[in-house]
Every structure is written in structure tokens, then in C-alpha cells.
């Protein structure tokens, strides 16, 4: 019997389950990694995403070879042809692969016929296995992230003082989420000079004869585990202290503020969630880091990230098609070009074009907030996010965009839609200062589109939103609006769509 292992592009860790299962027999275990062009032609991916994934795969193949594995690295039009050839060449009788995170790839494996047995090792890239999440979820009426997070803190003994949370509270949000007032000087993130492997991939992607998105120049993402560990260390020593207070702030020209920039590495397997959480928790104990920032960060990885992954596998396969508000407007072209007079959107889109990165509040309160209140199709928006972000994968896209950003799942994971007017953006950013629109105005020539779309959204879905208890306060304000003003708002929203305004 010959066992061969197929390592998928987001499973780049020597401790991943399929490799671990054959660690002692590595010299007799052929391993394959495949760059499939078919896979990347599904949507116009950001060039830096392609470089990141392919360069990280090529580096990982070298790492495996150095560790004594016998590795085949295939660059091919699709997965099937190199897999079939490799199985024949190496007389493989059992193909072992770690269970994919993404449903489309799992479905591909379901239908795979190679004339050998196919064995799927349970995925070990998350703290919570799918089984453990299902057990947690099936015992509950509601699936609140907060309850899940507290359970995770206890289960993995993170920031715990016996049975109680360290500091006496589970959450220090009151000390966080400050608006960006005065001079803001965040530290530079750690970027890496492309080496020969990365440069070769950059040349290939630059010459791509299929549609792609974004700029390739300035690529500086980590492409090895060693570099990703350096990025983690750099975050802890230069950014973690101020992570909490400015977590929700947005500042022109400051793409990353105090954010960690670790999602691309966690999602590829270059970093593991438990090591990230434990390293940050240790920094709290040993280097006296502020608890509001430490807890705020750990909540993101131990709470939100694990929760989103668990929910993705817990909900049905129809989840991506959900459209609770029945929204169908197509994605405006300026989502791709960035050519819009709305400065908050222009700045965010320009940044994504340059880097593939936007931080959480840009994603949630600028991009998906606009898409939600303007009534854009959730599936078109999800596809756009998936194409343009450096850290996008099916498992993390569906729950974040369809669920959290657009409430298209009707409230599986959010207790109310994240809809907001210009008020929020004006408070949490400096974007409105340089905008052609007026954040204070709801109607008139210079009225901010976030305002008329917001009130129009509330009015259009008034009855549905009434059943979401947390919306009642804001709906009372809608009731106070005069019929005349509401009519002007409704007209402004309709005109916007009719005339393809920007």
C-alpha cells in the first residue's frame, strides 16, 4: 500500500492532520501541491492574493522537501490531470487529504474518482472541531457569539482566573473604540521584501491572461511561517498596546492603524490560532500589556474567528443563497474602479486596490453597510468581497458578508442589521471632512447617500425590522419624520439607482 498526501493551498502547516498522520513514514509518502488555474479563474482575484497563496505554497513545498518529504509541485490548468498522473506515477493506493475548510472544495472531493481510496483527515486548523461546535450549538436556542466566546475562554483556559475572567469582566469595550481625534501616528506594519520565489510568482501573475484585480506593486506580505511568526511578534511589540482603543477608527492615509494584519496567515495555516492567542496572553502576563487591548484582540481570534467558522459548517448548504431583505440591485461598477465621490468608499476601495486589505470597520461599516442600505444583491456583494480581499475564503466570506455584513441570513448570527447613517462614519473617521457630500444632510443636492439610503432602508423594511427587538428605538425616530421628508428621501434613493450616480 502507498499513501500519498494532497496538501491544499490553505493547509500550509507541517502540523496539519494529514501530514502528521504520516510523519514517521515521510520518506515513503509522496506529497503533492497543485496550483490550479481553473481555481483562480472563478472570479477576478486580487493579484496580491494570488501571489500570496502561490508563493506561500511554493515556499511550503521547499520546507517539506527540506524536512524529508518527497514533494511534487504541479502548475496545471486544473486539479484533475496532475492528480491522476501523480497517483499512477507513484502507485498510490490511498490518497490522504485534510478535510477542506471550504464547502466547494469538499464537494469536489466528494465527487473525486482516482481509482484509489480517498481518506479525509479531520481538519485541525481551528481550536473548535466541527463536532465540538455542533455539540455546543445543538444544545442552545440562540447562537450568540458572546456565549460561545465565554465558553472558549473557559475551555482553553485563556485569560482566566480560576472560574472568573481575568480583570473581573469578560469585555472591556467601554475603554476601546475611540474616535480618531487629534494627531494619530500608528506604527508601520512589518512588510517583507519579495525573494526570488515570490518575484517569480509576481512575474507570472503580472502576465496573467485571465481577469484579475488590484495592484501587484508593493507586495510585502509574509509568505513563510517564519515570516508570519515575525509579523506576530512585531504586532505584539509595536501595535498590541493601542489595538483596543483605535480598533474601530478610520483615518485617511493610514491603511492599517493598530490592526494585526494576521488574517492572511491564519487563513493559510502559516499561523495557528492557539499559538497566536497564547502568545498574546503570555505578553499580557509577562510584559504587562493593557487588558482592554489584549482581551479585545483575543475576542477576535478565539471568539469571532472560531465562531464564524463553526457557524459556516453548522448552517445548511443553502446559506450562501439567502436574501432576507430581497435585495437585488447589481454591484455598481465603481466598487471595482473606486471612482466614487463618496470619500469614505473611495478611500476604502483605493486602499483595497493597492493592498487587498481593509480593516474590520471599513469592511463592515463602510462597504457592507452601504451595500445593505442601498439594497445591493447579497450574492453579488459576497462575490466581490471574495475576489478583492487578501484573506478571503468561502468559509469566512459567507458568514461575514451574507450574515454579519448584510443580515441576508435573517439574523442567524447578528441580533440586528449593522446599518448606519453618516453619523457613525463622521464620528469614527476623518473621511467626511474631505467629501463632496454633507454628512449632516438627509435631503438636497449635497445630502450624504448614507443618510437617505439609511432612512429609506428603515422605511422599506419597517415591518420586518419591528420584529428585531433591538431596532425599535431607531424605528421610533423614523415615525417622527414628516411625510414630506420621507418622500424626498425615498425619491433621492430611487434617483440614485435610476441614474447610476456615484
Residues that bind ligand SF4 (CB under 6 A): 342-344, 422, 425-426, 431-432, 435, 437, 439, 448-450
CB of 189 to ligand FAD, least distance (A): 9
CB of 278 to ligand FAD, least distance (A): 15
CB of 368 to ligand FAD, least distance (A): 4
Residue 98's closest CA among 198, 200, 25, 9? 9
Strands of 145-295 (E only): list them: 160-161, 164-165
Q: Do 175 and 245 contact (CB within 8 A), yes or no?
A: yes
CB of 132 to ligand FAD, least distance (A): 18
Q: Do 138 and 117 contact (CB within 8 A), yes or no?
A: no
Question: C-alpha distances in angstroms, 166 versus 127, 162, 276, 279, 386?
Answer: 21, 9, 18, 16, 37
Cα-based angle 262, 266, 272 (whole degrees, multiple of 5): 120
Contact positions with ligand FAD (CB under 6 A) in 342-371: 359-360, 363-364, 368
| Under rule CB under 6 A, residue 385 binds ligand FAD | yes
Of 31 and 392, which CB lies nearer to ligand FAD in the complex structure?
Answer: 392
Q: Could you tell which of ligand FAD, ligand SF4, none binds residue 204, using a CB distance below 5 to 8 A set by kind?
A: none
| Under rule CB under 6 A, residue 397 binds ligand FAD | yes
Number of chain residues interacting with ligand FAD (CB under 6 A): 28
> What are the CB-based long-range contacts (under 8 Å, 24+) for 478-485?
481/455, 485/442, 485/443
Collapse the DSSP code of 477 into the 3-class scheme (helix H, G, I; strand E, B; otherwise coil) and give the result: helix
Q: Do 113 and 136 contact (CB within 8 A), yes or no?
A: no
Of 190 and 422, which CB lies nearer to ligand SF4 in the complex structure?
Answer: 422
| Under rule CB under 6 A, residue 262 binds ligand FAD | yes
Q: Could you tell which of ligand FAD, ligand SF4, none binds residue 389, using a CB distance below 5 to 8 A set by kind?
A: ligand FAD
CA 208 – CA 157 distance, rounded (Å): 47
Q: Checking DSSP bridges between strand 70-76 and strand 94-98, what pairing results, if any?
A: unpaired
Q: Which ranges in 356-448 belong to alpha helices (H)? A: 360-361, 369-374, 378-388, 394-397, 422-428
Q: Could you tell which of ligand SF4, ligand FAD, none binds residue 435, using a CB distance below 5 to 8 A set by kind?
A: ligand SF4
Of 29 and 388, which CB lies nearer to ligand FAD in the complex structure?
Answer: 388
> What are the CB-based long-range contacts (under 8 Å, 24+) for 461-468?
461/325, 464/324, 464/325, 465/417, 468/411, 468/415, 468/416, 468/417
Q: Could you tell which of ligand FAD, ligand SF4, none binds residue 422, using a CB distance below 5 to 8 A set by kind?
A: ligand SF4
> How many residues does the structure list for the chain?
502
| Under rule CB under 6 A, residue 52 binds ligand FAD | no
Which of 261, 268, 432, 435 touches ligand FAD by CB under 6 A?
261
Return left, alpha or beta for 458; rule: phi > 0 is left, psi -120 to 50 is alpha, else beta.
Answer: alpha
Of 389 and 452, which CB lies nearer to ligand SF4 in the complex structure?
Answer: 452
CB of 346 to ligand SF4, least distance (A): 8
Of 212 and 369, which CB lies nearer to ligand SF4 in the complex structure?
Answer: 369
Give the interface segment with ligand FAD, choosing from 255-263, 453-461, 472-480, 487-495 (CB under 6 A). Answer: 255-263
Of 235 and 450, which CB lies nearer to ligand SF4 in the complex structure?
Answer: 450
CA 170 – CA 480 distance, rounded (Å): 37
Of 433 and 470, which CB lies nearer to ligand FAD in the complex structure?
Answer: 470
Collapse the DSSP code of 329 into the 3-class scheme (helix H, G, I; strand E, B; otherwise coil) and give the result: strand
Of 32 and 315, which CB lies nearer to ligand FAD in the complex structure?
Answer: 315
CB of 345 to ligand SF4, least distance (A): 7
Contact positions toward ligand FAD, by CB under 6 A?
Answer: 259-263, 266-267, 297, 300-301, 304-305, 308, 359-360, 363-364, 368, 385, 389, 391-392, 396-397, 400-401, 404-405
Amino acid at each position: 500500500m502507498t499513501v500519498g498526501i494532497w496538501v491544499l493551498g490553505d493547509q500550509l502547516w507541517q502540523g496539519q492532520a494529514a501530514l502528521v498522520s504520516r510523519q514517521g513514514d515521510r520518506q515513503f509518502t509522496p506529497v503533492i501541491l497543485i496550483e490550479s488555474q481553473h481555481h483562480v479563474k472563478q472570479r477576478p482575484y486580487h493579484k496580491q492574493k494570488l501571489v500570496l497563496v502561490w508563493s506561500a505554497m511554493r515556499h511550503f513545498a521547499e520546507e517539506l522537501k527540506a524536512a524529508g518529504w518527497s514533494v511534487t509541485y504541479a502548475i496545471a490548468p486544473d486539479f484533475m490531470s496532475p492528480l491522476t498522473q501523480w497517483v499512477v506515477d507513484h502507485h498510490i493506493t490511498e490518497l490522504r487529504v485534510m478535510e477542506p475548510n471550504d464547502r466547494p472544495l469538499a464537494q469536489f472531493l466528494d465527487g473525486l474518482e482516482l481509482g484509489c481510496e480517498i481518506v479525509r483527515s479531520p481538519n485541525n486548523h481551528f481550536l473548535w472541531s466541527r463536532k465540538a461546535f455542533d455539540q455546543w450549538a445543538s444544545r442552545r436556542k440562540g447562537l450568540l457569539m458572546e456565549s460561545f466566546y465565554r465558553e472558549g475562554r473557559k475551555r482553553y483556559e485563556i485569560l482566566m482566573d480560576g472560574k472568573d475572567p481575568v480583570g473581573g469582566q469578560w469585555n472591556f469595550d467601554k475603554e476601546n473604540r475611540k474616535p480618531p481625534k487629534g494627531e494619530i501616528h500608528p506604527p508601520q506594519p512589518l512588510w517583507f521584501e519579495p525573494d526570488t520565489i515570490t518575484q517569480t510568482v509576481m512575474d507570472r501573475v503580472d502576465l496573467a491572461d485571465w481577469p484579475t484585480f488590484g495592484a501587484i506593486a508593493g507586495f510585502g506580505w509574509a509568505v513563510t511561517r517564519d515570516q508570519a511568526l515575525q509579523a506576530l511578534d512585531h504586532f505584539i511589540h509595536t501595535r498590541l498596546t493601542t489595538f483596543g482603543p483605535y480598533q474601530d477608527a478610520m483615518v485617511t492615509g493610514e491603511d492599517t492603524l493598530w490592526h494585526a494584519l494576521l488574517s492572511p496567515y491564519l487563513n493559510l495555516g502559516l499561523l495557528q490560532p492557539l499559538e497566536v492567542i497564547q502568545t498574546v496572553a503570555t505578553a499580557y502576563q509577562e510584559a504587562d500589556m493593557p487588558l482592554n487591548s489584549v482581551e479585545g484582540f483575543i475576542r477576535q481570534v478565539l471568539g469571532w474567528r472560531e465562531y464564524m467558522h463553526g457557524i459556516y459548517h453548522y448552517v445548511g448548504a443553502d446559506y450562501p443563497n439567502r436574501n432576507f431583505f430581497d435585495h437585488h440591485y447589481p454591484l455598481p461598477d465603481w466598487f471595482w474602479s473606486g471612482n466614487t465621490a463618496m470619500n469614505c468608499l473611495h478611500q476604502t476601495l483605493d486602499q483595497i486596490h493597492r493592498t487587498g486589505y481593509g480593516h474590520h470597520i471599513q469592511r463592515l461599516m463602510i462597504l457592507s453597510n452601504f451595500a445593505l442600505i442601498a439594497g445591493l444583491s447579497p450574492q453579488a456583494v459576497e462575490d466581490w468581497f471574495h475576489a478583492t480581499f487578501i484573506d478571503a475564503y468561502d468559509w469566512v466570506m459567507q458568514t461575514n458578508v451574507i450574515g454579519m455584513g448584510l443580515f441576508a441570513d435573517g439574523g442567524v448570527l447578528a441580533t440586528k442589521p449593522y446599518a448606519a447613517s453618516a453619523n457613525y462614519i463622521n464620528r469614527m473617521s476623518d473621511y467626511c471632512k474631505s467629501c463632496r457630500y454633507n454628512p449632516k444632510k438627509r435631503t438636497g443636492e449635497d445630502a450624504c447617500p448614507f443618510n437617505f439610503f439609511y432612512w429609506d432602508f428603515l422605511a422599506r423594511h419597517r415591518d420586518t425590522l419591528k420584529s428585531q427587538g433591538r431596532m425599535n428605538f431607531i424605528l421610533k425616530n423614523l415615525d417622527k419624520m414628516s411625510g414630506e421628508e420621507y418622500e424626498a428621501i425615498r425619491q433621492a434613493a430611487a434617483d440614485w439607482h435610476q441614474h447610476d450616480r456615484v
